[in-house]
Structure 1
């Protein structure tokens, strides 16, 4: 079914925002490799620094969800776009201080600004769009475009420019998006029974406590934990994979043409993984209308656990198998995301959707960021142990998702849409 004008307007606005959030987010691991050399720090220490930036990206999602319900989703998304761009300009200036601590400050500012996007953007789609599954899919693809282009542009520019100039250049599209967003017009509640516009709504502390109790007395409590374990896996993989790929013996065997000696092949394999993730994101989004969210989560978590355990053996099979492995990993790493987004929509009422997505991304990106700090220390000890840790995260998510499939969702309040949950 074709999207109506309101759906198209919301899709364009949120796709732009989603692409840019991940444009910034996934360029950071490319800088991570540079910062290790630039500031002469260990993988464990840089893991802590990057975790300080990624943590508020998730921890701010809860207040972001509250603010989305109170002040309106469009305002929050515009703030996000302007704030992220400004933070990367601050990050560029951190090079003048020649301090890893200044870099940490820039990352924290980025994380605060970026934190409001997902609860605001997904809430806007869930309440304003009639063809929710389709727009979730396209929204996910846009995120993957940003996920792939961010590190690709960063890695390519780093071949010819100092990292601080690259950070400043990456900020420019966000400023352009603010100008576009100011002109966008749409009805943010067209898909609900509500009427009105994206206007301020009062949310008292007692209402916050009451709505939170309702959410966590239902199956959403299980969904929250599931999303947290997905975040632990996702963050651990994407943050350290560029550094891991750089160190593989197979990378040293790649012969580069004259003039390209400064290019890191591992960075472009990483980008390729993210590009394949677009297909996974789109496929997952389309399947949410056919496969119950909990069942889809259980299956994909199991696949991710197997892939994590297979990483070390695959690296001994040569470059070709590494490429195939990364493509498969990229597909399923992103195919899972529309399923947990749909699970939140299924297990929560519309009037707490902003709050529910706030909690969701508190788990995904906030609590999930702990795997960066932990992973840096584990990785410094053993590559195999690092991927065993990731497999444990995925297996836990699979077991919890299977619990939803067999009926744990019947504890407390039932799903908002029982027919879609079954």
Structure 2
């Protein structure tokens, strides 16, 4: 990578890690807040949902703002906003103050993915490699956020812990202010990041119609099915593992009785995901995104079905399957991120990634409701069959893209399809 690639990589990796650092630390405080403010679980669940909701819903306006003001400004606002939100949480004296802090966090966090991925797609020459490192950084944040929060809560009061978690975000803002790079180095010179002209409603509608009249429409649906698979599995797998006979019967020493082995297996899955992110990103420089998506969705089908018998087996098979699952679950992300870059114009990249993460985090969150209903009304087997169905749909659509289905919906590729071609 050249100096510009390295600068963008460092800046976006810091941003991605911190978005998930904050995101996954929030559930650690739920038990503490329930005791602190003496409210019902249902009300508190609604409040936390209000905080997470903008994380997906705000991706589309975040993409529009990235095209309007430039991705660097948006990422700096995101980092600063998330840190300020956590500082507000640290001084909250009521459940309503917590609600305000969580909502502010969700709004600030929502702009990161469209802005960060837009910056990588237009500014980086070795796009696949940076997508890989960017994904790994996100996994580091996913694993470290809850680990650090839980560890600090052993010895510190929760308000101080929340405030301490905000410090890395503030440091990242200072780092970002000093970072220098060309955000359009990988695309034609006629693309201006952060142009002064505001995007009017008519232009937004025109750009959106153009995107969805192209192969991006198919990419959007593929990403939505990936989101349904991803969010459903990661939401319910910890509980399913906790209830697995082999894990329930696992003997623990008396001094370790409070430890839940299923949580450590789950964290291990996320750590293995770092290797999957790196491998997937490197492969995007060698394998077309259509082919990679089709292959990985097919693997997803097999893995979901494999959980049906494996959760009834011993600890070894469960750990092994979770490791394989973690690797492939995160290996697919660089492929769909690259597919967006391949099939969209550079000057609407922020809008494109906004729609992408609306599908990933917005539509994808529907599998939480669907999965919960299936688990309660039917069985664990029914849940995995449903999740496998999402992956099967993704396989079919990706195979269609590979077979040239995009010919019927728009241009096949943009001119900056592969930076290293």
Q: TM-score, normalised by structure 2?
A: 0.89
Query: For the Cα contact (< 8 Å) 1:66–1:355, is it kept in 2?
Result: yes
Of the three residues 11, 16, 19, the one matched with 1:18 is 16
Stretch of structure 1 that moved more, 271-280 or 392-401: 392-401
Deviations 1:106-135 (CA, angstroms, capped at 9, x unpaired): 433222111100111111111111221211
| Inter-CA distance 58–279: structure 2 relative to 1 (3 Å threshold) | same
> Deviation at 1:373?
3.4
Unaligned runs of 5+ in 1: none
Aligned to 1:239: 235
Deviates more, 1:119-128 or 1:107-116: 107-116
After superposition, where does 1:73-222 map in structure 2 within 5 Å?
73-93=71-91, 96-97=93-94, 99=95, 104-160=99-155, 165-194=160-189, 198-202=193-197, 203-222=199-218
8 Å contact 2:66–2:194 — kept in the other structure?
A: no
Name whichever of 315-324 and 236-245 sits farther off: 236-245
Residue 2 (structure 2) aligned to one of 1, 4, 22: 4
Name the CA distance, whole Å, in 2 between partners of 1:419 and 1:184: 25
TM-fit CA distance, 1:332: 0.8
Query: Which sections of structure 2, spanning at least 5 residues, go unmatched?
Result: none
Q: Residue 404 of structure 2 aligns with which residue?
A: 407
Q: Go from structure 1 to structure 2 and tell me whether the alpha carbon gap of 1:234 and 1:36 turns closer, same or farther (over 3 Å shift).
A: farther
8 Å contact kept, 1:63–1:358: yes
Pair 185,239 (structure 1): closer, same or farther in 2 beyond 3 Å: same
Q: CA RMSD in A?
A: 2.8
1:359-385 deviation per Cα after TM superposition (whole angstroms, max 9, x unaligned): 111111112122223333433443333
- In structure 1, how many angstroms separate the alpha carbons of the residues matched to 2:158 and 2:306? 34
CA distance in 2, matches of 1:318, 1:165: 41
Aligned partners of 1:74 and 1:198 also within 8 Å:
no
In structure 2, relative to structure 1, the CA distance for the partners of 1:378 and 1:151 (3 Å cut) is farther
Per-residue CA shift, 1:115-166, capped at 9, x if unaligned? 1001111111111112212111111111121122223323434555565554
Partner of 1:227: 223
| Structure 2 residue aligned with 1:71 | 69
On the 8 A contact 1:48/1:373 being kept in 2, the answer is no
2-structure distance, mates of 1:336, 1:351? 25
- If the length of structure 1 is used for normalisation, what is the TM-score? 0.89
Contact preservation (8 Å) 1:84, 1:110 = yes
The question of whether the paired residues in 2 share the 8 Å contact of 1:294 and 1:402 is answered with yes
In the alignment, the residues of structure 2 paired with residue 154 and residue 326 of structure 1 have an alpha-carbon distance, to the nearest angstrom, of 24
Deviating more after overlay: 200-209 vs 115-124: 200-209
Cα distance, 1:328 vs structure 2: 0.8
Is the 8 Å Cα contact of residues 159 and 263 (structure 1) preserved in structure 2? no
CA positional deviation for 1:402: 1.2
Query: How many Å separate the matches in 1 of 2:20 and 2:48?
Result: 15
Deviates more, 1:194-203 or 1:79-88: 194-203
Post-superposition offset of 1:104: 5.0
| Contact 2:294/2:395 (<8 A) preserved | yes
| Structure 2 equivalent of residue 306 of structure 1 | 302
1:241 Cα offset (Å): 2.9
